[in-house]
Structure 1
Amino acid sequence: MSVVSIPLPAVRPAPWRHRLAKFGPTGLCAMAVLIFWVLAAVFGPTLLARSGAHGGGAVFAPISAQHWLGTDYLGRDILARVIEGARYTVGVAMAATLLASSAGTLLALLAAASGRWIDGALSRVLDTLTAIPSKMFALLIVAGFGSSVPVLIVTAAVIYVPGAYRIGRSLAVNINAMDYVTVARTRGEGTWYVMRREILPNILGPMLADLGLRFVYVVLLLASLSFLGLGVQPPMADWGSLVRENIGALADGGTSVIAPAAAIASLTIAVNLLIDNLPGRKARERGAR
C-alpha cells in the first residue's frame, strides 16, 4: 500500500520582514540609527526630566560612570544635552524638509500639468531664488526677523523649495507626456485630477528619496547657523549650538564638542546610507546604465 505524501505549503516570512530584508545589512543599520534619533527627539527630553539625568558636576568633567560623555561648560551632562538637542535638530529639520518638499512637489506638478506660461513663470522665479547663496539668504532672513524656531523652519524651507521643484518638475514633465495622461485629458479630466491621480503616484518614489537628501542639507544648514550663533537660541539648544558653546574646551573637554558633532555625522550618514539602500534603487540604476 503506497503512502501519498502531501507537500506542506512553504512558510513565507512575514511581509514586514520581507520588506526589511530588501534594505540589506547596511540599510538596516542606518534605519536603526535614524529610528534611535527620532525616538530620542520625541521621548528623550520627557524621560530625562522624569529621571533627573541632567545632574550637576564639575565643568568639562571627563567621561565617568556618572557622566557617560562628560560635562559641558556649565557642568551639565553632555549625553542629556545631546538627547535634548535631538528635539530641535531632528524636529526643526524634519518640519522644514517636509514643508520644502511638499511645496516644491506641488509647484512642480502645477508647472508640468498647467501649461507653458505657468511653467515658465515658476521656473524663472525659483531659478532666481536658487542663484542666491543659501547661507547668505539665511543670514539675511535671520538678521531681519530673528532666530525663532518658526523663522528657521520657514527660512530653511524657502531655501530648498527650488531644489525640490527642479527634481519634481523634471520627473513630472516626462510623466505628463505619457499616453495615459493624454487619455485622461481627452476624456475631460481637469488639471487637479491629472496632477493628483496620474502624475503624483509616478513620481512619489523618487521624490521621497529626494526628501531624504533634502533633510541632510537642512540639518547641515541649521547646524551651521547655530554654530554661528544665529540658530536655536538658549535655553533651547541643538547640536550645532552645543558645538559652539563648548568649542573653547576642545583640548581639555573634547567630548563636549565631539559628542554633538558625532551626533550630526551619525544622523546625516544614516540618512544617506538608507537612501542608497532603498529597495529597487540599485536595480533601477543598473537599468539606467
Structure 2
Amino acid sequence: MSWPGLLGAGLLVLWLLVALFGPMLPGVDGSDLGQADVFEPISAAHWLGTDYLGRDMLGRVIAGARYTVGIALLATVLASSIGTLLALLAAASAPWVDAVISRTVDTMTSIPSKMLALIMVAAFGSDVSMLVPTAALIYVPGAFRIARSLAVNINALDYVTVARTRGEGRLYIMLKEILPNMINPMLADLGLRFVYVVLLLASLSFLGLGVQPPEADWGSLVRENIGALDSGGAAVVAPALAIASLTIAVNLLIDNLPGRKARGDH
C-alpha cells in the first residue's frame, strides 16, 4: 500500500480507537462546566479551546466521536448487508423476483436522501436507536444497485452455471459461488458509503435533528458553537476538521487499496 493509503488507514484506526476508548478516559466527556470562560482560545489548559458553555472542546470532540463514528459505522454495515443480500436474492432467483425487488428499490431511490431522512426523523424522532435504521434505509438502494450489477455478471459465468447444473441449491450458489467473488468491490463500496452516512448524520445534527443534547456528535458541535465563527473560534473549527479528517482518511484508504490501481490499469 502506498503512503497515502497508509496515512488514511492510520487516521481511520485513530478515530476508531478514539470512538471505542476515548469516552472511558477521565475528564474527556466535556460535561464539566468548570471555571473556564466561553469560547476560550487554544491554550495549555484547553488544547482546543472551550465551547459556548465553557466546556473543554477536546473532551467534547472525543466524546462526539462515539456517536459520529459509531452510528455511521453501524448504519453503513446494516445498509451494505441488506443491499448485498437483496442483490444476491435478485440475481439467483427467477426474473420476476428480480423485477419486484429492483422496482421496489427504484421507488426508494426516487426519494431524495435528505427529504427521506427528514420524514423519518419527523415521524419517529431523532433518538440514536432511530438514526441507525434511518441512515441504513436511505443507503440500502445504493448498495443494492452496486451489488446487483456485480451479482448478475458473476451469475452468468461458467462456474456458476456448472454449480447450478450439478444440482446446487439457490442458497449455496448465493453464498458459495457469487458472494465470495464480489466481496472486494463491496468492501470498497462500504467505505464510500460510510463517508456518505457520516456527512448525512452531520447534516442532520447541524440542523438540530440528529443526536440530541446533552450528548453531541461532531455535526451538533459545529451547530452549538456557530456563534464563535466570526472570531474564528476553535470550537467551530475543531469538530469540522474532525469530520473532514475522517472522510479524507476513508477516501485515501479506499483509493489506495492493494491491487486497486492494478485492476484499474488493466
Give the whole-Å Cα distance in 1 for the aligned partners of 2:183 and 2:30: 44
Residue 51 of structure 2: aligned partner: 72
1:62-211 correspondence runs (5 A): 62-211=41-190
Give the whole-Å Cα distance in 1 for the aligned partners of 2:40 and 2:157: 64
Residue 48 of structure 1 deviates from its aligned partner by: 3.3
Count of matched residue pairs: 265
- Asked whether the equivalents of residues 48 and 80 of structure 1 are also in contact (C-alpha less than 8 Å), the reply is no
Give the whole-Å Cα distance in 2 for the aligned partners of 1:50 and 1:249: 21
Choose from 235, 238, 244 the match for 1:265. Answer: 244
Q: Which runs of 5+ in 1 are unaligned?
A: 1-22
Give the whole-Å Cα distance in 1 for the aligned partners of 2:231 and 2:29: 29
- Per-residue displacement from partner, 1:198-222 (whole Å, max 9, x unpaired)? 0000000000000000000000000
Structure 2 CA distance for partners of 1:170 and 1:27, relative to 1, 3 Å: same
Give the whole-Å Cα distance in 1 for the aligned partners of 2:161 and 2:196: 37
Structure 2 CA distance for partners of 1:52 and 1:281, relative to 1, 3 Å: closer
| 1:251 match: secondary structure | helix
Give the whole-Å Cα distance in 2 for the aligned partners of 1:150 and 1:169: 29
**RMSD across aligned positions (CA):** 1.4
Give the whole-Å Cα distance in 1 for the aligned partners of 2:257 and 2:202: 26
- Per-residue displacement from partner, 1:102-150 (whole Å, max 9, x unpaired)? 0000000000001201110010000110010000000011011110011
Residue 211 of structure 2: aligned partner: 232
Give the whole-Å Cα distance in 1 for the aligned partners of 2:199 and 2:49: 25
Choose from 36, 42, 46 the match for 2:20. Answer: 42
Residue 252 of structure 1 deviates from its aligned partner by: 2.6
Counterpart amino acid of residue 65 in structure 1? A
TM-score normalised according to structure 1 size: 0.89
| 1:250 match: secondary structure | helix
- Asked whether the equivalents of residues 80 and 140 of structure 2 are also in contact (C-alpha less than 8 Å), the reply is yes
- Decide which structure has the larger Cα Rg and report it: 1
Residue 54 of structure 1 deviates from its aligned partner by: 5.4
- Per-residue displacement from partner, 1:170-198 (whole Å, max 9, x unpaired)? 00000000111111111111100000000
